[in-house]
Amino acid sequence: MAYRTIIFFLLSIFFQNVSFGQYDSLSLLKKTQNDIDSIVNNAIQQRAFPGCVVYASLAGRPIFHKAYGYHRYDSINEVLAADIYDLASVTKVMAATLALMKLYDDGLLDLEKPIGDYIDGLGWSKLRKVTIREALGHQGGIKSWIKYYDEIQKSDGRYKRKTISIERSSEYPFQIATGKYLHKDFYNKIKKMIRKAEVQKHPEYVYSGLFFYLVPELVEELTGTAFETYLRTHFYDPLGMSTVSFSAGAYYSLDRVVPTEVDSFFRYEPIHGQVHDEGAILMKGISGNAGLFGSATDIARLWHMWLQDGTYNGVQYLHPATVDLFTSYQYGNKNNRRGLGFDKPLLQYDQAKSSVAKSTSPYSYGHSGYTGTLVWADRENQLLFIFLSNRVYPSRDQRALYQLNVRPSIHQLLYDYLSSAAGDSK
């Protein structure tokens, strides 16, 4: 393993800050680029997504960064490599888990303590007894998700009191869509629904986002700092992650932000610059479950820090032991592949179920997002892979991204390239 890592590091220095296409004379690199181009262009033709950005780095050095297609199928705005995408559930690791790693690092969070020790107002619910470790590892048996937008409607379709109004006021200050304004205390409704959510008596692995909605409150209670401010102060700003933010449309021109879905069931309009996730928009766009936006290069900064054992540009952000703990399997003996917050490779590889390459190592970790995003870091091979797309445009019913195995196929090409390059160097 050490020999391969040295070879990959030397190759990364040679190809730093360039794309494969600038070395067309090298047949191996050209073939890899052509193969990636072929997969992506076919996927666009099959309407898996209107466009995407593919990024890869080796030992912290970019080796591939290319944009494809358009923001929409109208072929007007071409995707640029620096465009900003809705990351969906990648937020779970780049926001919620990241904050909890810092709290754990600082001795403020005990993974073995129950959620109820950190979140007030959970009453006698079963949820309060689930430990932080179980919740992050999706081993707490917590209900997967809640249709908040359904729960707040009456049988005649009108919204219940203190939820959503058709007019802005001091009581309903936050606009979530045209003619829809959120009550200022709506988070209490979300918290109540989560508190009442079903929790298995004998917990099994259930991928659940409900705990992640509570993380912003947990962070603020322990630190006295708002969730987004905490993240920006300790990580995003010092790492130079300028495009990584919640509600990107409030900070950047919509020409730079890629649209997601044309909502036909809740907001009834195109979603552009606001978070796609219905639960996150009901938290005013700031959630631990979804809500982050970002460009590939800014996303990469954080993941390079994790790959470098918590250090970036000579600054230690997290202790190596913390990074190792959170990115390792937690409940493998219970047929659960998850780390703490992070996704991990399947315990038994199945091409039909995997979002990543077969060749990725057991030491790798990452997360996927419902909008078509994927970020995956391999500690053993020092390979980072980022795939950004809006596969939910114009509708979430489009599942060709999965049917065509776009992301794992591209990911595998990168491993094939590394293997061949290492072989040629012997």
Domains, the chain, in order of start with CATH, read 1-81+398-426 (no CATH), 82-342 (3.40.710.10)
Structure pTM? 0.94
Provide the pLDDT for residue 28. 80
* DSSP 8-state code for residue 368: E
Which of 94, 99, 71 is closest to 294 using CA atoms?
94
- pLDDT value at residue 423: 65
- Segment 48-97, tens digit of pLDDT: 999 999 999 999 999 999 999 999 999 999 999 999 999 999 999 999 99
Q: Is the pLDDT of residue 27 over 90?
A: no
Amino acid present at 190: I
Q: What is the distance between the alpha carbons of residues 137 and 270, in angstroms, rounded to a whole number?
A: 34
DSSP string computed for 208-277: --HHHHHHHHHHHHHHSS-HHHHHIIIIIHHHT-TT-EESGGGTS-TTTBPP--B-SSSS-SB--SS-S-
- pLDDT of 29: 76
pLDDT at 425: 52
Q: Which amino acid does the sequence have at 325? A: L
Question: Buried b / exposed e across 350-385, counting CB within 10 Å, b at 16+?
Answer: eeeebbbbebbeebbbbbbbbbbbbbbbbbebbbbb
What's the pLDDT tens digit per position in 171-216? 999 999 999 999 999 999 999 999 999 999 999 999 999 999 999 9
Q: How would residue 1 be classed by pLDDT, with cut points 50, 70 and 90?
A: very low
Where do the DSSP E strands lie in 81-179? 85-86, 164-165, 174-177
pLDDT tens by residue, 243-286: 999 999 999 999 999 999 999 999 999 999 999 999 999 999 99
Percent pLDDT > 90 in the chain is: 89
State phi, psi for 133 to the nearest 5 degrees: -60, -45
Tens-digit pLDDT profile for residues 92-149? 999 999 999 999 999 999 999 999 999 999 999 999 999 999 999 999 999 999 999 9
- Encoded tokens for 248: 């990107």
Mean pLDDT, the chain, rounded, equals 93
- Residue 26 binned pLDDT confidence (cut-offs 50, 70, 90): low
Compute the distance between CA of residue 291 and CA of residue 228 in angstroms, rounded to an integer: 11
The confidence score (pLDDT) of residue 351 equals 85
pLDDT score at 16: 42
| Overall average pLDDT of the 363-383 stretch | 98
Using DSSP's 3-state secondary structure scheme, residue 74 falls into coil
Mean pLDDT of 416-421: 87
What pLDDT, in 10s, does the model give residues 377-399? 999 999 999 999 999 999 999 99
Residue 7 is predicted with a pLDDT of 41
Residues with Cβ within 8 Å of residue 326, at least 6 apart in sequence: 97, 101, 104, 136, 339, 340, 341, 342
pLDDT band (50, 70, 90) for residue 30? confident
Report the Cα–Cα distance between both ends of the chain, in Å, rounded: 14
For residues 145 and 193, the answer to whether their CB atoms sit within 8 Å is no
Whether the pLDDT of residue 17 is over 70: the answer is no
Spatial separation of the C-alpha atoms in residues 161 and 153, rounded to whole Å? 9
* 230-247 pLDDT, tens digit each: 999 999 999 999 999 999
Using CA atoms, how far apart are residues 203 and 23, in angstroms rounded to an integer? 53
For residues 256 and 180, give the distance between their C-alpha atoms in angstroms, rounded to a whole number.
Answer: 25
